[in-house]
């Protein structure tokens, strides 16, 4: 049945968590796709006053999204910018660091671990022989639902080996990451996953979907020697920023942020205040079906009576799932994280009035 199953896989991987200021739920579902290529991270206390949430939507395989879920938040914490309090710069560093870490023998080995045992992961590439960056079909990969994976590995030492010149995986992944520290919210995004916030019941978009029709994206692509055909980068990729996808990043005379496809994120910072109710981070499997305001309305209506936030996430996934594959919308992998901002809930006004 092509890229789709005969019946959707509706089993879900869900989780809940809560601390003094935040309450979150998450859920992920494979749906109609042949494999599950999404991953996500939800950590309430990465340190004593900071939380981090991320959704990663893989394409061409699952290994890059899983790599990001395992390592991106760690690189945020290890950066000098994070230590100095610059969360935006810390996120930029971590996004760029993902591409660097997936190169060479160490990157190859880690991607093998995250891929299917006994099978070569999608991502073999030896560099552009003719300057072409046209995509090749990726081999299918079995389903693995991706959630936060703890690791004791603190350093990323270079290793010698037969894959020392490995340039990185041809598979790629979007990344949308939200960091909350006190009243500060910082969102970094590369690709077409999206983060929104409900402010007094209105959807506030905190990320930009990086698509080829955007003029700023088109300009970078053409300058780097790429082209757009049928709404796709080099006739292949339908988004313009991603981690991985090294076949679009071969221009040695250009910095990472100027490549045909870049992992360099847009970063938006928001001061949280009264009336800021919840965040929603989700892959495009949700946004292809519902608008930002539609999702806010859906959550706003059901959150007060939900038995858990993860159950609400599951309800949203089922709502977005298409009943058939006759239309593309609702047939993708789906992942969502809802973060309730308990600290900023509007209090019920008192009825005590002076006469």
Neighbours of 20 (CB within 10 A): 8
pLDDT in tens, 287-324: 999 999 999 999 999 999 999 999 999 999 999 999 99
Q: Cα–Cα distance between 126 and 130 in angstroms, integer?
A: 12
Give the domains, in start order, of the chain with CATH numbers: 4-208+268-344 (3.60.40.10)
For 286, the 3-state DSSP assignment is helix
- Residue closest to 5 by CA, chosen among 324, 335, 327: 324
Q: In Å, how far are 9, 183, 282, 286, 331 from 26, measured between CA atoms? A: 17, 22, 10, 13, 19
Q: pLDDT confidence of 64, banded at 50, 70, 90?
A: very high
Residue 11, H or E segment: strand 4-18
Residue of 129 and 22 predicted with greater confidence: 22
What global pTM score does this model have?
0.88
Q: Cα–Cα distance between 325 and 337 in angstroms, integer?
A: 25
Contact, 108 vs 166, CB < 8 A?
Answer: yes
pLDDT of residue 109: 93
pLDDT in tens, 228-281: 999 999 999 999 999 999 999 999 999 999 999 999 999 999 999 999 999 999
Q: What is the mean pLDDT of the chain?
A: 87
> If you ran DSSP here, which 8-state letter would residue 37 be given?
-
Q: pLDDT confidence of 154, banded at 50, 70, 90?
A: low
Give the DSSP letter string of 302-336. HGGG-S-HHHHHHHHHHHHS-SSSSSSTT-S-EEE
pLDDT surpasses 50 at 140:
no
Residue recorded with tokens 């004791």: 152
Give the DSSP letter string of 193-255. -EEEEEETTEEEE-S----TTSHHHHHHHHHTT--EETTEETTTBS-SB-EE-GGG---TTS-
Rounded to 5 degrees, φ, ψ at 49 are: -140, 20
For 263, the 3-state DSSP assignment is coil
pLDDT in tens, 68-124: 999 999 999 999 999 999 999 999 999 999 999 999 999 999 999 998 544 444 433
Percent of the chain having pLDDT more than 90?
80
Taking each helix axis from N to C end, the angle separating 63-78 and 87-101, rounded to the nearest 10 degrees, works out to 130
Q: Cα–Cα distance between 85 and 91 in angstroms, integer?
A: 11
């Amino acid at each position: 049945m092509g890229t789709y199953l005969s019946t959707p896989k509706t089993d879900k991987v869900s989780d809940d968590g809560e601390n003094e200021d935040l309450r979150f739920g998450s859920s992920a579902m494979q749906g109609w796709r042949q494999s599950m290529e999404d991953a996500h991270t939800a950590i309430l206390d990465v340190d004593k006053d900071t939380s981090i949430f991320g959704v990663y939507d893989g394409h061409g395989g699952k290994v890059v999204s899983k790599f990001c879920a395992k390592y991106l938040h760690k690189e945020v914490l290890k950066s000098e910018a994070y230590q100095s309090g610059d969360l935006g710069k810390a996120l930029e560093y971590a996004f760029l660091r993902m591409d660097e870490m997936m190169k060479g023998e160490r990157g190859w080995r880690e991607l093998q671990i995250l891929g299917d045992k006994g099978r070569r992961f999608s991502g073999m590439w030896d560099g552009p022989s003719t300057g072409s960056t046209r995509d090749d079909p990726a081999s299918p990969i079995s389903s693995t639902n991706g959630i936060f994976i703890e690791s004791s590995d603190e350093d990323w030492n270079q290793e010698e080996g037969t894959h020392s010149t490995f340039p990185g995986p041809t598979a790629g992944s979007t990344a949308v990451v939200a960091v909350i520290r006190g009243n500060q919210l910082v969102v970094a995004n590369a690709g077409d996953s999206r983060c929104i916030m409900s402010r007094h019941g209105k959807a506030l978009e905190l990320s930009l979907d990086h698509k080829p029709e955007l003029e700023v994206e088109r300009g970078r692509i053409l300058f780097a020697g790429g082209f757009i055909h049928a709404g796709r980068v080099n006739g292949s990729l339908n988004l313009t920023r991603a981690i991985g996808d090294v076949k679009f990043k071969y221009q040695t005379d250009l910095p990472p942020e100027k490549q045909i496809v870049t992992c360099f994120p847009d970063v938006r910072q928001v001061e949280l205040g009264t009336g800021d109710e919840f965040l929603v981070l989700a892959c495009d499997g949700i946004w292809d079906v519902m608008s930002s305001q539609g999702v806010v309305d859906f959550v706003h209506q059901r959150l007060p009576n939900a038995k858990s936030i993860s159950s609400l996430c599951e309800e949203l996934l089922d709502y977005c799932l298409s009943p058939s594959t006759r239309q593309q919308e609702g047939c993708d992998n789906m992942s969502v994280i809802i973060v309730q901002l308990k600290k900023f809930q509007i209090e019920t006004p008192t009825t005590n009035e002076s006469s």
